[in-house]
Chains A and B, each alone.
Chain A
Amino acid sequence: MSKRYLLALYNNFEEAEQVVRELRTSSIQGFNAADDMVIKSPIEHPEVEEFIGPKPVKVQWFTLFGATLIGSLGFLWVASTQANFFSQMKGGKPIVPIPPDMVLTYEFFILGGVYITVLGFLVCAGLPARRSPLYSAKVSEDQIGIMVKAEEGATTALKGIFAKHKALEIQEEVGR
């Protein structure tokens, strides 16, 4: 019982929105709107999230973790190198002076924040990613794509729904 992929392209978000809403309300056998539906859009569009339902974002946790960890490690590192190279006595200054180390810690903090955030982004967004089974260059240009994954049986019903809402194009693909 193999899976089928469908990609429908639409002119604008309004149309796409209706399709999505319908798909979510419809109870088609072998198709789960929550997991099997992906919206591909040329621009970032917050409204999309309203109609495809809540999906959590985890990136900020990376940020928190990275910033704190690298910040504190940075301080430890700087301080202990100063302690280690103790023959560097500086007139009128302690071997491990706090103000400079604070400045550096600050930089480490930001460094960690940025790096780990981006790392988190790649992880959460699943990048770099393999080509998904169905893709159209139009999606990066001016059309909104709705890709669904469904059992063989469900395809006709889905196509029906797509067609009903004047899909510009419907691609079909046998899933791996």
Chain B
Amino acid sequence: MTKDIREDIAWAKINQDVLKSLETPRPAYWVILAVALSVFGVGLGCEIYQYQMGMGVSNLDNPHAWALYIGSFIFWIGMSHSGTLLSAILHIMHADWRKPIYRFAEAMTTFSLITAALFVAVHLGRVWQIYYALPYPNERWAWPNWQSPLLWDAMAVFTYLSSSMIFLYVGMIPDLAICRDNMHSGWRKKLYTLMALGWEGTDRQWRNFRMTYLTVACFLIPLAVSVHSIVSTDFAVSQQPGMHVTSFPPYFVAGALYSGCAAIISLFIILRYVFRFEEYMTLPILRKVVRLTFAIAMVWTYLNCVEFAATWYGHDPAEKAVLVQKAIGPYAPFFWTMIFCGSVVPFAMMVKKWQTSIPIMFAVSLLLNLGMFLERWMIISPTLSHDYWPWQWDHNQWPSMIQWGIVFGSFGFFVTLFMVFCKVFPSVSMYEVKEMVYHRSLHSKKAESAAPEGFVAEELAVKGAN
């Protein structure tokens, strides 16, 4: 068991390494960016076509009015949650191993929320009238319907998005100051100077900074939980069998953290390579994240079982029918893929050797996210094609290429934003890595006298993990 991070990295070196990521990434960066952009382009094309022709081209049909759009909406919101998990929850728990990786996690939160917000527009039949849903005083004297879970969504997502953006920014101020001090003139210099707000790291600034950061973190945790439970009410509040499920709020939150952590692993691996962050995004940290993910995977699996069990013993014929449909109906392949990816694949994370194997973990994390995407779809489609009204049961619904195109496009959109961010802003929190290194070194100094090297490291690692 090696240490999370070398304790003897000089602070100056930290600055250098991270600042280098703003200048010269590996060529892979540009490849990824190009691919992402083109995928996004495709999605955009599909959306324009759909806008012109009407929703019908997405091959949604009348009993089957929702599908991948809402699914992706939930997926992206879900993905955002683990960013908060790392940056807020672990911050409060003083798990300092999070420090090198929470910045990009938080960025991921922000951008996946933006992507999710896109789907609201994509999903609406008359997006050009979307302003009807905004609560502003208007000449119609009409207000949106606050009773609708969709509006709660909007409210929650808006709060979450803006809050986590602020959180991201506040946490970045000291690093922006560093960039300001080390950048030579140019638009970037101006940008950083502006954004650093004249931060100089005085004791007064640090004092208030600490308090603020802590407080906002405290707010973000209940917020994150509320957001996905509110999203779950879209279904839980409705009447349809398979959607009207009591355990949905926790189930959704768990699923959210799950897919988010998986996404973090993927991005961890990508950034580590693209920006040469081997020094900071070290394998022990990866191992910790993987363990965390595994734990959440088990929570999710458990809640899945709870849901099925509840349905089974609830003895509502309609509910039961939907469950059976999922298992043996036309959507069975996807359902079982979801179960496999969501509940079986994670066991690969138990193998200690694999926990730190980059390729394996990369593959696993992608599979997990596939599973989580299907999960969202499996909440919607089986129910709508097999609900209370047998006359309207249909099994012919299959998302058209347009619909798929838009969904994939959203991934392109997300990756583009994310990659641009990582190039423009330090994706590793410099000052916090410094703190980490500093505290570790202090600690080991104290410990040295007491115990032999290996033991200390062991103990450190354990301390870090909780």
Q: Please say whether chains A and B are actual partners in one complex.
A: yes
* Complex partner residue of B435 from A43, A125, A129, CB under 8 angstroms: A43
Say if the beta carbon of A15 comes within 8 Å of chain B: no
- Per the bound structure, the CA–CA distance linking A106 and B219 in Å amounts to 11
Residues of B within 8 A of A132 (CB): 200, 202
Contact of A39 with B205 at beta-carbon distance under 8 Å, contacts A59-B215, A90-B147 already known: no
Choose the segment among B177-185, B353-361, B391-399 that binds chain A (4+ C-beta atoms closer than 8 Å): B177-185
Closest chain-A Cβ to B410's Cβ sits at a distance in Å of: 25
Residues of A within 8 A of B174 (CB): 42, 140
- Is B216 touching A118 in the complex (CB atoms < 8 A)? yes
Say if the beta carbon of A137 comes within 8 Å of chain B: yes
Say if the beta carbon of B31 comes within 8 Å of chain A: no
Say if the beta carbon of B438 comes within 8 Å of chain A: yes
Contact of A140 with B197 at beta-carbon distance under 8 Å, contacts A38-B202, A39-B203, A59-B215 already known: no
Choose the segment among B151-159, B297-305, B343-351, B362-370 that binds chain A (4+ C-beta atoms closer than 8 Å): B151-159
- Is A104 touching B166 in the complex (CB atoms < 8 A)? no
Say if the beta carbon of A117 comes within 8 Å of chain B: yes
Number of interface residues of A (CB under 8 A): 58
Residues of A within 8 A of B11 (CB): 42, 141-142
Contact of A100 with B146 at beta-carbon distance under 8 Å, contacts A106-B226, A118-B212, A128-B197 already known: yes
- Per the bound structure, the CA–CA distance linking A140 and B174 in Å amounts to 8
CB under 8 Å from chain A, chain B span 138-190? 141-143, 145-147, 152, 155-156, 159, 162-163, 166-167, 170, 173-174, 177-178, 181-182
- Per the bound structure, the CA–CA distance linking A46 and B210 in Å amounts to 9
Say if the beta carbon of B1 comes within 8 Å of chain A: no
Say if the beta carbon of B408 comes within 8 Å of chain A: no
Annotate A117-148 by CB proximity to B: 1 below 8 A, 0 otherwise.
Answer: 11011101111111110010101111000000
* Complex partner residue of B207 from A49, A106, A140, CB under 8 angstroms: A49
- Is B203 touching A55 in the complex (CB atoms < 8 A)? yes
Q: Which of A111, A114, A124, A131 has the most CB of B within 10 A?
A: A114
Say if the beta carbon of B135 comes within 8 Å of chain A: yes
Residues of B within 8 A of A131 (CB): 198
Say if the beta carbon of A107 comes within 8 Å of chain B: yes
Residues of B within 8 A of A111 (CB): 159, 162-163
- Is B207 touching A55 in the complex (CB atoms < 8 A)? yes
Closest chain-B Cβ to A38's Cβ sits at a distance in Å of: 5
- Is B146 touching A44 in the complex (CB atoms < 8 A)? no
- Per the bound structure, the CA–CA distance linking A171 and B407 in Å amounts to 58
Contact of A110 with B223 at beta-carbon distance under 8 Å, contacts A55-B203, A97-B147, A104-B155 already known: yes
Closest chain-A Cβ to B440's Cβ sits at a distance in Å of: 13
Q: Do most interface residues of chain B lie in helix, strand or loop, or is the interface mixed? A: helix
Choose the segment among A21-29, A81-89, A159-167 that binds chain B (4+ C-beta atoms closer than 8 Å): A81-89
Q: What is the count of residue pairs linking A and B with beta-carbon distances less than 8 angstroms? A: 168
* Complex partner residue of B209 from A38, A88, A114, A121, CB under 8 angstroms: A121
- Per the bound structure, the CA–CA distance linking A108 and B431 in Å amounts to 32
- Per the bound structure, the CA–CA distance linking A97 and B145 in Å amounts to 11
Closest chain-B Cβ to A34's Cβ sits at a distance in Å of: 12
- Per the bound structure, the CA–CA distance linking A90 and B216 in Å amounts to 37
- Is A57 touching B216 in the complex (CB atoms < 8 A)? no
Residues of B within 8 A of A170 (CB): none
* Complex partner residue of B434 from A39, A43, A55, CB under 8 angstroms: A43
- Per the bound structure, the CA–CA distance linking A24 and B22 in Å amounts to 42
- Is B198 touching A127 in the complex (CB atoms < 8 A)? yes
- Per the bound structure, the CA–CA distance linking A81 and B226 in Å amounts to 23
Residues of A within 8 A of B182 (CB): 137, 141
- Is B204 touching A84 in the complex (CB atoms < 8 A)? no
Say if the beta carbon of B201 comes within 8 Å of chain A: yes
- Per the bound structure, the CA–CA distance linking A49 and B197 in Å amounts to 23
Q: Please give me the residue from chain A that is nearest to B152 by CB atom.
A: A103
Say if the beta carbon of B12 comes within 8 Å of chain A: yes
- Is A142 touching B10 in the complex (CB atoms < 8 A)? yes
- Is A139 touching B208 in the complex (CB atoms < 8 A)? no
Q: Which of B145, B178, B215 has the most CB of A within 10 A?
A: B215
Residues of A within 8 A of B162 (CB): 111, 114-115
- Is A114 touching B166 in the complex (CB atoms < 8 A)? yes
Say if the beta carbon of B199 comes within 8 Å of chain A: yes
Residues of A within 8 A of B204 (CB): 38, 55, 124-126
Say if the beta carbon of B462 comes within 8 Å of chain A: no
- Is A140 touching B211 in the complex (CB atoms < 8 A)? no
- Per the bound structure, the CA–CA distance linking A52 and B139 in Å amounts to 59
Residues of A within 8 A of B145 (CB): 88, 90
Q: Please give me the residue from chain A that is nearest to B181 by CB atom.
A: A137
Residues of A within 8 A of B230 (CB): 103
- Is A57 touching B207 in the complex (CB atoms < 8 A)? yes
* Complex partner residue of A121 from B10, B141, B170, CB under 8 angstroms: B170
Residues of A within 8 A of B209 (CB): 44, 121, 125
Contact of A41 with B206 at beta-carbon distance under 8 Å, contacts A63-B215, A88-B145 already known: yes
Say if the beta carbon of B390 comes within 8 Å of chain A: no
Q: What are 13 of the A-B contact pairs (CB < 8 Å)? A: A39-B202, A42-B431, A43-B438, A44-B206, A49-B203, A59-B208, A88-B145, A110-B222, A115-B162, A117-B215, A121-B208, A125-B205, A142-B12
Other than the given A42-B431, A127-B199, A142-B10, 16 more pairs (CB < 8 A) read A40-B200, A41-B203, A43-B434, A81-B135, A85-B141, A88-B143, A103-B152, A107-B152, A115-B162, A118-B166, A118-B212, A127-B197, A129-B197, A129-B199, A139-B200, A140-B201
